[in-house]
Structure 1
Amino acid sequence: MTSRAPLTLLCLPCAGASATMYLRWRRFLPAWVHLVPVELPGRGARMGEAFVEDFDALVTRLCAEQATAMHGNFAIFGHSMGALLVYGVARKLQALQRPLPRALLVSGCAAPSRRNPERFDGKEDDASLIAELRKQGGTPEEVFANAELMRITLDVMCADYRVCRSYDHGDVANQPQLPLPVHAFAGREDDIDAQEMAAWSEESGGFFTLDWFEGGHFFIRQHEATFLAALARRLGQVVSGVGLAPRAFA
């Protein structure tokens, strides 16, 4: 079998979560994938830091903090809020004329042009946030049963919802498409519909794919093995150059 070039994969977490959600993937992804779970301020190993609750400020900080990792052969993945953040990072890199990722991989998130800005309104009280966590189905029962863990999760989620509300697609609506492939992943039982996912194709000036899986918003956990196999397949296409548009500013 032909060996593949190593690829760094930066992974950004969903709202209310830590980068630890990706740690177990290291056991299942191919050896040529160098997984880099990106921790956001205010959670996990960075719990002592203040939250960054503005989308543009958080994207700017991520581009600065991950500057070393975002060179050479790299791609960026995000689930839900993480997908919106990796899109923002790609656009910021484009604006700064810095090297772009080999591909953008987005999961469980409507395309930026199809987001509903009212989705996060009225969801800052504990009861509403807990109901949202139950609905999404990605939070272990032991978190709900532990008051301290629940408090941490709710505080992180509240801050992250402010990040999502502060996103303004008008800032990039008239910019050129990203000159790179976009690979999207979605759950058939998620609230995000097919048109909202397919609209990610509008952001790519290169190759676009959309893979569907059984399950809801957290299909990446409900059907982890199937999802990771698809992710590895798409990453293989990235490193082999399938459908790859010329990279800008590399």
Structure 2
Amino acid sequence: MQAPLSLLCLPCAGASATMYLRWRRRLPHWIEVVPMELPGRGSRLGEDFVEDFESLVSLLCAEHDAALRGNFALFGHSMGALLAWGVAQRLRADGRPLPRALLVSGSAAPSQRDPDRFVDMNDDAALVGDLRRQGGTPEELFDSPELLRMTLDTLAADYRVCESFAHAGNAPLPLPLHAFSGRQDDIEPWRMEAWSAETSRAGFTLDWFDGGHFFIRQQEARVLEALVQRLAGLAAGAEVHAPRARALA
């Protein structure tokens, strides 16, 4: 029998963690989907955005302390992948339990992020253009001034989070790492392949799917099939605490 596992999921820029709720109906019962909602959206709509990467990671680790224990894994798409990696690094630095695996989707490796991908966060037209370029946004949203305003404000705040990120040469994580990417996404393949350097464990995988940046929606069934395959072999057991880690010089 497969041991129960909590899958903590972090959203992409401009989105709510509710993007993962439909997975609860589509994944096997032994995987419990736990959306990690960020301030300023979804059920936290009335809260102020947190626009600094390290501050947001610290907040998430504190708020989800109970969930970040036991048999759990982290998943994130796009900005969510970077945040998931940041949470795993913070857990290790604090000597706290580590996830059984880190699953990252649609995001360049932390050491190989492309600075040219940033857009002007104060330019609504540029943000709208970025939404349209990436796809995945319902056309009805562009026709609703109120919804579009909320989305653009959220997207700008999240882009500030990404812009504030600075790779400090962190040591590889001692856990399995599985990456997912779209063949038609504009992230260069070598930036995805660089995730292999973020784990010190054997078994790194990189799965490719037809589709652009939001291949996880376009190819949802295939993505979830691969996700289940990667999670099925994880060992359950006592919490594993990592020694405090130092950033490499």
Q: State the TM-score bracket (shorter-chain normalisation).
A: over 0.9
d(CA) in 2 for partners of 1:23 and 1:239?
A: 25
Alignment of 1:203 with 2:198, yes or no, is: yes
Aligned residues: 241
Tell me if structure 1 keeps the 8 A contact 2:73–2:101. Answer: yes
Tell me if structure 1 keeps the 8 A contact 2:120–2:127. Answer: no
Match of 1:176 in 2: 171
Match of 1:218 in 2: 214
Q: Which runs of 5+ in 1 are unaligned?
A: none
d(CA) in 2 for partners of 1:178 and 1:104?
A: 9
AA paired with 1:87?
A: W
Q: Aligned to 2:115, what secondary structure does the other structure show?
A: coil
Q: Aligned to 1:178, what secondary structure does the other structure show?
A: coil
AA paired with 2:195?
A: W
| Residue 238 (structure 1) shift | 2.4
Match of 2:246 in 1: none
d(CA) in 2 for partners of 1:27 and 1:197?
A: 29
Give the TM-score normalised by structure 2.
0.93
138, 142, 145: which is aligned to 2:143?
145
233, 236, 239: which is aligned to 1:237?
233
| Residue 11 (structure 1) shift | 0.2
Identity %: 63
AA paired with 2:132?
A: R
- Residues 24 and 188 of structure 1: CA distance in aligned 2, closer, same or farther (over 3 Å): same
d(CA) in 1 for partners of 2:31 and 2:188?
A: 30
| Residue 116 (structure 1) shift | 1.5
| Residue 121 (structure 1) shift | 4.2
Tell me if structure 2 keeps the 8 A contact 1:106–1:183. Answer: yes
Match of 1:122 in 2: 120
- Residues 99 and 240 of structure 1: CA distance in aligned 2, closer, same or farther (over 3 Å): closer
The Cα offsets for residues 158-214 of structure 1, whole Å up to 9 and x where unpaired, read as 0000000000002xx0x3210000000000000112110010010101121000000
223, 230, 233: which is aligned to 1:227?
223
Q: Aligned to 1:198, what secondary structure does the other structure show?
A: helix
| Residue 228 (structure 1) shift | 0.9
Alignment of 1:35 with 2:33, yes or no, is: yes
20, 23, 27: which is aligned to 1:22?
20
What RMSD, in angstroms, separates the aligned Cα atoms of the two structures? Answer: 1.6
AA paired with 1:149?
A: L
Runs of 4+ in 1 over 4 A off after TM superposition: none
Tell me if structure 1 keeps the 8 A contact 2:184–2:211. Answer: yes
AA paired with 2:165?
A: Y
The Cα offsets for residues 74-111 of structure 1, whole Å up to 9 and x where unpaired, read as 00000000000000000100100000000000000000
AA paired with 2:73?
A: A
Alignment of 1:249 with 2:245, yes or no, is: no
Tell me if structure 2 keeps the 8 A contact 1:4–1:239. Answer: no
Q: Aligned to 2:206, what secondary structure does the other structure show?
A: strand
Give the TM-score normalised by structure 1.
0.93
d(CA) in 2 for partners of 1:93 and 1:99?
A: 7
d(CA) in 2 for partners of 1:247 and 1:103?
A: 12
